Amino acid sequence: MFSGKTEELIRRMKRARIARQRTEIFKPAMDTRFSEEDVVSHDESSVRSTPVAAASQILLLAMDAQVVGIDEAQFFDSDLVEVCRQLALSGKRVIVAGLDQDYLGQPFEPIPSVMAIAEFVTKLHAICVVCGAPANHSQRLVRGQGRVLLGATDTYEPRCRECFDLKLSAGE
């Protein structure tokens, strides 16, 4: 969280548009934190997107695109891996943004599997709010039910490995 993943996705999609490539960007329909339709970064950059309920919908909706962007990919099911593979095999450039770990520091599928089939991976880090080191964990600050709890600065904060408190994230 707060590492600039969505901002980087938006930047790459804008560059593709400047290059006159046909683009489509998708996000999970469940992610309505900042907008129901737009992909919005924490710094309020935004781009129009198509919300989808399932990764499989992307294949049908991206037929005319040359470049396909997928935001908050951790909220999709494991079908996303095959969707990305099919898009790439059809000659499309696929740009995926998502968290690779959940709030407990565990791999957050389908991201690790998407990373495994990707030609290029850029791993961005936030800044730990406790000590200022590079942060690779999302510290959950509130008790929540289940693995997915949509939220922003009031719900999560970036922490480095040393400052990450698993007991706090787990609600203990």
Q: Which tokens is 60 given?
A: 């049908």
Indicate if 72 belongs to the active site.
Answer: yes
Of 36, 72, 109, 157, which is the active-site residue? 72
124 sits in which H/E element:
none
Q: Is there a cis peptide before residue 110, judged by omega within 30 degrees of 0? A: yes
Please provide residue 11's backbone torsions phi and psi, each rounded to the nearest 5 degrees. -60, -45
d(CA 101, CA 12): 23
Cα 163 to its chain centre, rounded Å, is 23
The rounded distance, in Å, linking the Cα atoms of 112 and 146 is 20
Catalytic site positions:
72
